[in-house]
Amino acid sequence: MKATVFPFTRNVIVAIVFLYTIGFLIVFATVGLWEAMHRFVVEAILLVLWLWVSHKLLGNTPTEDSSVKRPCMELVLGLIVLALFFAMLTLYFLGTSWLFWLDEVVIYGFPLIMFFALRYNTRAMGLSIAPPRAWLVVLVVAAIQFAIGFLTGYILPPGELSLSLGSAATGQASSSADVLAFFGRSLLIAAIPEELFFRVYLQPRLAHYLPLGWAILIQALLFSAFHLPSMILYHGYSWSLALAEILSINNGLIGGYIWSRTRSLPLLSVLHLFAYLRF
C-alpha cells in the first residue's frame, strides 16, 4: 500500500488545456460562442472543481500498486476489442439492431474473461467497497455538476444547439417509474460495462507503460472517442461538433482519477449515473 501523489503533472495539465482550447475554437467557429462556452469553458471549470474536491478528500488515500500480469498482451487485446466494439457500435447505429446485444456481450465479456483466465483477484476487478470518504466524493462531485448546471442556466445564455443529452433523455420520462427505468437501463448497459472496460481494465494496462496522469488522459480520450458513433448517427451531431466533443474529457478524467484511488467498480458505476450526464 502506498499514498499516491496528484497524477496530473504540469505537462498533463498543459495537454488538457490544449485539448479544451482546440475544442472551444472548433465549436466557436462552427456553432457559436455560447455553445462553445457551455461545452468547454463551463466544463473546464467543472473539471477543476471536481479534481480539487476529489484530491482534497482522497489525496492521501493509500492505494495498491496496479499489478498487471501480461501487460503487452492484455493492452493489445484490449485495444483490438475496443476497435471491434467501435465498429459494431457504428453498424448498430446504422441499423443493424441485433448487434446491440452482441455489443453488450463483448464489452462485459472480454474484461471478465481476461480477469478470470489470468486469475486476477477481486480488487483488480473493481469488486471492492470504497470507504465512506470516497462515497462522499461521488456525492459532492454530483452536487457540483448539478449546481454548475443550475448556475450557468442563469448566468449564460443558452447554447445555440438543443438541450444536453442528459436533460433530453430524462426529459422524456413521464413518471418516477420512467426515471427509475432510465437509470436502471443506464446502469446495466452503460455505467457498469463502460467503467469495467475503460477504468478497471484499460487504464491499469496503459499505466504499466505510462505515468498515471498520461494513462488517465489517454483512457479518457479513448472513452470519449468511443461515443463518436452515437454522437453522429444517433444524436445527429455534425462531424466538426462530434470531433470537438471528443476533446471534452471530464468524465474519463474524473472516473480515471477516482478509480486510481478507490479500485471500486460499484463506486464508479454510481459516479457514472449521477455525474456524467449534463442537466
pLDDT value at position 174? 58
pLDDT value at position 66? 66
> Which grid cell sits at 244?
470537438
Q: Which DSSP letter does residue 118 get?
A: T
pLDDT value at position 162? 57
pLDDT value at position 182? 85
Q: Which DSSP letter does residue 175 get?
A: S
DSSP-derived pairing of the beta strands 2-3 and 62-63: antiparallel
Beta carbons within 10 angstroms of residue 86's beta carbon: 17
Radius of gyration, CA atoms only, the chain: 18
Query: Phi and psi of 3, rounded to 5°?
Result: -90, 130
pLDDT value at position 212? 94
Give the distance from CA 164 to its chain's centroid: 16
pLDDT value at position 149? 87
| 14-58 residue pLDDT tens | 999 999 999 999 999 999 999 999 999 999 999 999 999 999 999
pLDDT value at position 1? 47
Return the H-helix or E-strand segment holding 62: strand 62-63
Kindly report each contact of residues 21-27 with a partner whose C-beta sits within 8 Å and lies 24 or more positions away, as own/partner: 22/244, 22/247, 23/244, 23/245, 23/246, 23/247, 23/248, 26/240, 26/241, 26/243, 26/244, 26/247, 27/241, 27/244
Closest CA to 259 of 198, 185, 211, 208: 198
Beta carbons within 10 angstroms of residue 6's beta carbon: 13
Q: Would you give the end-to-end CA distance of the chain in angstroms?
A: 38
Closest CA to 254 of 216, 198, 210, 204: 216
Which residues in the chain land under pLDDT 70? 1-4, 62-66, 162-175, 278-279
